[in-house]
Amino acid sequence: MDYTQLLENIYQSILPYAKEGKQADYIPELAKVNPDQFGMCIHTIYGEVAAIEQADTRFSIQSISKVFALAMCLSIKGDALWTKVGKEPSGTAFNSLVQLEVEHGIPRNPFINAGAIVMADILLTHLGNPAADFLQFVREVSGTDTIEYNEHVAISEREKGYLNAAIVNLLKHHGTIENDIEEVLHFYFLMCSIEMSCRELSQAFLVFANHRRRFDYAGVVLTASQVKRMNAIMQTCGFYDEAGEFSYLVGLPGKSGVGGGIVAIYPLQYAVAVWSPRLNAKGNSVLGIKALELLTTETQTSIF
Amino acid sequence: MDYTQLLENIYQSILPYAKEGKQADYIPELAKVNPDQFGMCIHTIYGEVAAIEQADTRFSIQSISKVFALAMCLSIKGDALWTKVGKEPSGTAFNSLVQLEVEHGIPRNPFINAGAIVMADILLTHLGNPAADFLQFVREVSGTDTIEYNEHVAISEREKGYLNAAIVNLLKHHGTIENDIEEVLHFYFLMCSIEMSCRELSQAFLVFANHRRRFDYAGVVLTASQVKRMNAIMQTCGFYDEAGEFSYLVGLPGKSGVGGGIVAIYPLQYAVAVWSPRLNAKGNSVLGIKALELLTTETQTSIF
Amino acid sequence: MDYTQLLENIYQSILPYAKEGKQADYIPELAKVNPDQFGMCIHTIYGEVAAIEQADTRFSIQSISKVFALAMCLSIKGDALWTKVGKEPSGTAFNSLVQLEVEHGIPRNPFINAGAIVMADILLTHLGNPAADFLQFVREVSGTDTIEYNEHVAISEREKGYLNAAIVNLLKHHGTIENDIEEVLHFYFLMCSIEMSCRELSQAFLVFANHRRRFDYAGVVLTASQVKRMNAIMQTCGFYDEAGEFSYLVGLPGKSGVGGGIVAIYPLQYAVAVWSPRLNAKGNSVLGIKALELLTTETQTSIF
Amino acid sequence: MDYTQLLENIYQSILPYAKEGKQADYIPELAKVNPDQFGMCIHTIYGEVAAIEQADTRFSIQSISKVFALAMCLSIKGDALWTKVGKEPSGTAFNSLVQLEVEHGIPRNPFINAGAIVMADILLTHLGNPAADFLQFVREVSGTDTIEYNEHVAISEREKGYLNAAIVNLLKHHGTIENDIEEVLHFYFLMCSIEMSCRELSQAFLVFANHRRRFDYAGVVLTASQVKRMNAIMQTCGFYDEAGEFSYLVGLPGKSGVGGGIVAIYPLQYAVAVWSPRLNAKGNSVLGIKALELLTTETQTSIF
């Protein structure tokens, strides 16, 4: 299959929707990004790679970083992780984020903010040099040495992050968090601030698609069963309020970020990353979801 | 592949867990069932069938009936259905069923009780002879003429069904329900009371596994896209509080019932039904989940 | 003090507000009432009585009946009543009535609907002839033989009473209710349907104002301490979402009904009833609250 | 009446309960207090004063300070205050403090923590020198120059104050709070840390009991109507989950603190303060409530 041609065709098909949605603007750094960008890259387990448009432009991966954090936490804690965070979908956020996200101090899953904050705390406790170690893992799994945090974004998010600060205080009140609140928040926002391109993300997620290949990067070692667990969580919890809709439209496990990126995998076949900053009402990239929907339709690779 | 031998091997492997869990006993009819039964049947899209142990014993399918109801409602209403019921997972039931299941009168998905009650109301409105029409659809899709409701079970459930009665009153208060409350409850419990065997269920769900085959049974017509939608909802909402766990352990879309039955499908390959009355704490069959976990592991057919 | 002149003056002062608010219209019988009526009557413990305008026109007392029900339940159960219903204010109803009104099957206080439904169940269990006995008590405490239920109103309320039906089913699910659901609902709505005039209500409540006088009517016997308890509950729970505001504006324990009636007492001095069908957004009579505010200001009888 | 003898008699009557309950111990400073202390003081509007036992020992007034804060905020903002904080009771805290205390950013009343935090923010905005000005007001209204904050207590509370920090972050997220979060929290805890004796508290609250006397202390000026409003809020909201019970047992508006103090007033007659560190399950002083119950019974001064 000519993947480059396929991606080009997809891009042409979705162009009519290019002005739909608007980018995140709750912090200045995200608001400054040119919203009219699009990139897409696919890696197959057979070594094929196709990349189009701004596939090499880096953007803020935001919540996609939670997948990397989960990989590290699973490697460190194993099944003991599930005593501190659940693994079931969180349901529509019909009420307050704060209340719903934390039940008796246990967030519902690792991909809601409360769950990711608990993972930040775990990494702070167990890593020798948390910021450096996390970055090193992301670099190794992506095969790129130049990936960096964007400290400006991290600091800017902290300044507006009252809801996350409420969550971390509530977790601390319940005894779920061990480390200093500001350290936890800073590290959480720092992980979210990593900037990667579609090509780098797609490369990095290939290892989640291929659980027959040994997972061992920068000391983060996962069994095939643990990778399967991560895919299951991406499937049921990867898209907040739109997990069911994404499941139907695209039919692949994946994770989105408020920076406009989406990564998805078709187990034992490929990983794909797409990026476009304009978001729909649920916070997912408009062009990103449309591109993935076409991809799975054209290649008949929906898991359903 | 020798599926009969495979199922026999699976059965031998799970026997050590045969006394774990206990059957549903909130109504006398379910409490009277011999808990030490097990049946399993698989149908592939290539025409293979394998069935072991009590695969031909009928049992109360209970919530599995919600899949049949959804097929009929989608056929009747199309996408207009989603104005009356959501399609996102409901999250852990951390609080009251009543409150969480109904937001502003709209249940979160068709497989929670509130959602299924709304579907019962829709069928009452649109079917000429609801009880007969629903049964006819189930019979045709299963290829069996002798499937019946168990009116005793339906009446018994109504007598204890205070929580469901609270839900339907709340839905009526919000204007979501059109028909008489008692009629809606009776039809809801009647659908749940259908008795089928593993062989019949597996046969019936094969059409959901094979969306390239035309879906047209007793006037219920679904497009390939609608079947895909049903699979996506089974994947994210089919197991209440255990959707994430089932997704990981088994990795297939499916639906469980409190009678001890579970049906699951591997798209474009097979449908499988398993039954054993002893349930775990979340209300799913202990042996059923273990059997399906082994099946997907042995056949490498998890979607992840 | 010339109470008749005082009431007349008050009436003149509030006339400018006579067209504010609108009457309850969720059932036809309440919607049919002429909204432009006003009555007021005061009884002092020294035997003075003053009544103006439609003080002798009967109206649907609705939730004011909960005070009579509480008197009977306290007489029957004593402090054991508080195991089935709480005695603390319920707070602003910011969410669902159903969920908030019932916690683990125990309503927060006797004056919210859930609490009054529990009292209806208790009376059904303990009274020989509940409907007749309750009516007899109301007649004796009012000193009037002709007070009656309005069965049309009761039946009409049941027909629209989905929210109350949801509440009673939830209570039954929790085991708080002993009797048949429809019997409980019918008796609850029947008690609410009693029709009384301001003169009759004011007379009836005088006994709550005067806890030095023996409380013994139709076999309902209360100690001075129990009457004080009833006053405390009227003070903190008598006006739903407006308990705090009424406390400030009027400064007396009391109870309002959606029919436009309000009764209030100044302990050891007087009882007063006022009626006007037009309600504010919180469901309390506009002219009623204004009249009581002026009364306590003029007579310096706020408890604060 | 010989108030000293009365208080002595009350003290003798409640001695059998002297070992019931336990003092607050969530911060070291409160845990260190000798729990077996008791003080009581009454001031009448006619100038009578009676004080017994440790009536001159200062203790941490904690939440009683919210009454002083409300007086200042009402003086500054007038009725505009009610756009930032409600005035209705909050109901039993059946769920999470955080969620229930803040609805759309508006706390339910000024005496729950969220409400008091909003008042701290208002005072920070409007006072020239908040800490000094607040202290000066408390000193003037108490007629004592030596009242001080206990900075150790304030700092200690901040260190453990994760729940309050969650609340203030949530308020900030909703835009209710103008000032820096740490400044707000510090000032909130500082106000709570004031140490006063029963004699000083009783003296200070006499002005709330006597709304015919001009209220003007350190620039804090209240109308008679505003004082009445404060009494109404003390009546319905002064004792968290025990407002209804206190209303019945004691029948006076008042405010309790976790340090074991309670102040209550009988409008136009007296103010009374009582202190004993051992608390009941709801956080109110065991001996304090018993003493006040006896006082109102003996003097027949319950408002009911």
Model pLDDT for residues C202-219, shown as the tens digit of each residue:
999 999 999 888 999 999
Tokens at B160, concatenated = 């204890």
Over residues D57-88, the pLDDT tens digits come to 999 999 999 999 999 999 999 999 999 999 98
Mean confidence (pLDDT) of chain C: 93
All partners of chain C with 3 or more CB pairs under 8 angstroms: B, D
Nearest 5°: the CA angle B36, B40, B42 is 175
Integer-rounded Cα radius of gyration of chain C: 18
Give the pLDDT band (50/70/90) at residue D95.
very low
Question: Could you tell me which residues come within 8 angstroms of residue A24 by beta carbon, excluding any fewer than 6 positions away?
Answer: A30, A31, A258, A259, A260, A277, A279, A283
Residue D102: what pLDDT?
66
- H/E segment holding residue C259: none
Q: Over range B120-139, report the average pLDDT.
A: 98
Of A255, A61, A30, A66, the residue nearest A157 (C-alpha): A30
Give the pLDDT band (50/70/90) at residue B102.
low
Q: How far apart are the first and last CA of chain B?
A: 21
Give the three-state DSSP class for C32.
coil
Reply yes or no on whether the pLDDT at B103 is more than 80. no
All partners of chain B with 3 or more CB pairs under 8 angstroms: A, C
Give the pLDDT band (50/70/90) at residue B121.
very high
Question: Could you tell me which residues come within 8 angstroms of residue A16 by beta carbon, excluding any fewer than 6 positions away?
Answer: none
Reply yes or no on whether the pLDDT at C126 is more than 90. yes
Mean confidence (pLDDT) of chain D: 93
Topology of the domain comprising D3-299: Beta-lactamase (3.40.710)
Alpha-carbon distance B192 to B64, whole Å?
Answer: 8
Q: Over range D238-246, report the average pLDDT.
A: 87
Give the pLDDT band (50/70/90) at residue C97.
low
Cα-flanking dihedrals φ and ψ of residue C106, to 5°? -110, 110
C289 vs D303, residue with greater confidence: C289
Reply yes or no on whether the pLDDT at D270 is more than 80. yes
Chain B, nearest residue to A244 by Cα: B88
% pLDDT > 70, chain B? 96
Q: Among B91, B237, B253, whose Cβ lies nearest the Cβ of A108?
A: B91
Reply yes or no on whether the pLDDT at C169 is more than 60. yes
**How close A18 gets to chain D, by Cα (Å)?**
32
CA distance to A233, A276, B263, C20, C300, per residue, from A288 (Å): 20, 6, 33, 54, 70
Residue C96: what pLDDT?
47
Give the pLDDT band (50/70/90) at residue C100.
low
Over residues B171-188, the pLDDT tens digits come to 999 899 999 999 999 999
Tokens at A60, concatenated = 């803020």
Q: Among B99, B163, B169, whose Cβ lies nearest the Cβ of C162?
A: B169
Highest average pLDDT, of B145-154, B155-164, B211-220, comes from B145-154
Check CB contact under 8 Å for D96 and A95.
no
Q: Among A95, A163, A172, whose Cβ lies nearest the Cβ of D162?
A: A172
Mean confidence (pLDDT) of chain B: 93
Q: Enumerate chain C positions whose Cβ falls within 8 A of a Cβ in B.
A: 95-96, 98-99, 162-163, 165-167, 169-170, 172-173, 181
Q: What is the pTM of this model?
A: 0.93
Residue B96: what pLDDT?
46
Residue B94: what pLDDT?
43
Residue A96: what pLDDT?
47
Reply yes or no on whether the pLDDT at D116 is more than 70. yes
Low-confidence residues of chain A: pLDDT under 70: 91-102
Q: Write the single-letter amino acid at C51.
A: A
Chain D, nearest residue to C225 by Cα: D248
Q: Among A163, A172, A173, whose Cβ lies nearest the Cβ of D173?
A: A163
% pLDDT > 70, chain C? 96
Residue A30: what pLDDT?
94
Q: Among A91, A242, A302, whose Cβ lies nearest the Cβ of B228?
A: A302
Reply yes or no on whether the pLDDT at D213 is more than 80. yes
Least confident of C183-192, C195-204, D39-48, D231-240: D231-240
Q: Which of C170, C171, C180 to mutate against chain B (most B CBs within 10 Å)?
A: C170
Residue A241: what pLDDT?
78
Q: Over range B254-283, report the average pLDDT.
A: 96
Tokens at C222, concatenated = 């209360």
Chain C, nearest residue to B102 by Cα: C96
CB atoms within 10 A of CB A26: 11
Least confident of B49-53, B287-291, C167-171, C261-265: C167-171
Residue A235: what pLDDT?
92
The 3-state secondary structure of chain A reads: CCHHHHHHHHHHHHHHHCCCCECCCCCHHHHCCCCCCCEEEEEECCCCEEEEECCCCCEECHHHHHHHHHHHHHHHHHHHHHHCCCCCCCCCCCCCHHHHHEECCEECCCCCHHHHHHHHHHHHHHCCCHHHHHHHHHHHHHCCCCCECCHHHHHHHHHHCHHHHHHHHHHHHCCCCCCCHHHHHHHHHHHHCCEECHHHHHHHHHHHHCCCCCEEECCEEECHHHHHHHHHHHHHHCCHHHHHHHHHHCCCCEEECCCCEEEEEECCCEEEEEECCCECCCCCEHHHHHHHHHHHHHHCCCCC
Which residues in chain D touch residue C245, judged by CB atoms under 8 angstroms apart? 87-88
Give the three-state DSSP class for C119.
helix
Q: Among A103, A233, A304, whose Cβ lies nearest the Cβ of B244?
A: A233
C91 vs C221, residue with greater confidence: C221
Reply yes or no on whether the pLDDT at C83 is more than 50. yes
Which residues in chain B touch residue C165, judged by CB atoms under 8 angstroms apart? 165-166, 169, 181
Over residues C2-26, the pLDDT tens digits come to 999 999 999 999 999 999 999 999 9
Chain B, nearest residue to A241 by Cα: B88
Integer-rounded Cα radius of gyration of chain D: 18
**How close B225 gets to chain A, by Cα (Å)?**
9
Residue B99: what pLDDT?
55
**How close D269 gets to chain A, by Cα (Å)?**
43
Check CB contact under 8 Å for D233 and C248.
yes
Counting every residue, how long is chain B? Answer: 304
Which residues in chain A touch residue D163, judged by CB atoms under 8 angstroms apart? 169-170, 173
Torsion sign over Cα C64, C68, C73, C75:
positive
Each domain of chain C, given as residue ranges in start order, spans 3-299
Alpha-carbon distance D271 to B105, whole Å?
Answer: 51
Over residues A3-51, the pLDDT tens digits come to 999 999 999 999 999 999 999 999 999 999 999 999 999 999 999 999 9
